[in-house]
Amino acid sequence: MAVTINASTSTGLVQSADTSGIIQLQSNGTTALTVNTNEGIQILNCLGVGNATPSTSGAGITFPATQSDSSDANTLDDYEEGTWTPVVTGSSTAGTGTYSIQEGCYTKIGNMVIAYCFITWSAHTGTGDFTITGLPFASNGSYTAQVGSIYASDFNAGTNATQLIAYPATGSTAINFRGFVNNALRTVPAMDSVASVGVTLTYRI
């Protein structure tokens, strides 16, 4: 049994009491919130924080659409999942590409973002250093050594480098690249054959 408060549309507010130490909040006879004997709180579906409307699907915590940032290091103040569209861009001339795949997704937890993208293109008119733009959030300019993992297929590697590393440009929504050997930059491929690049980054905003 439990001490129960039930909001009923037919009979109004219904209250019952016992000595179990359990408190239940009900709506139309369904328990939505329980405080158990260990002072733990159970919620049936979703909890909205920061005046956010709780999600009507699944069970979890719903954060407001615009983050309400907390100065407390021990407070989780945001969670978000979504998609983004990666775009190949040249540093000298942005150019345009012929794409067959442009996919990107991300998860944001507090001030950390995990972003993934995969692009396949057959030609590009850009010139200069190879860049991918369109990250869902700008990286924090105070953190520079945030290196991600990369997959590349049929990509113009250049003559001074044999491997790629990817990293978010500081204070920007772009992904920059460097060659592992001699720190060489990669140029934007303008290729007849199909090239593919996939990147996974974890960075701070």
User: For residue 146, which of 175, 177, 167, 171 has the smallest C-alpha distance?
Assistant: 167
pTM of the predicted structure, to 2 decimals: 0.82
Residue with tokens 């442009």: 102
> Tens of pLDDT along 138-191?
999 777 667 888 887 766 655 555 677 889 998 999 998 877 666 666 667 655
Secondary structure letter of residue 182 according to DSSP? T
How far is 141 from 73, CA to CA, in rounded Å? 19
Using pLDDT thresholds of 50, 70 and 90, give the confidence band for residue 136: very high
The predicted structure's pLDDT at residue 81: 96
Q: Of 42-51, 83-92, 151-160, 181-190, which has the strongest mean pLDDT?
A: 83-92
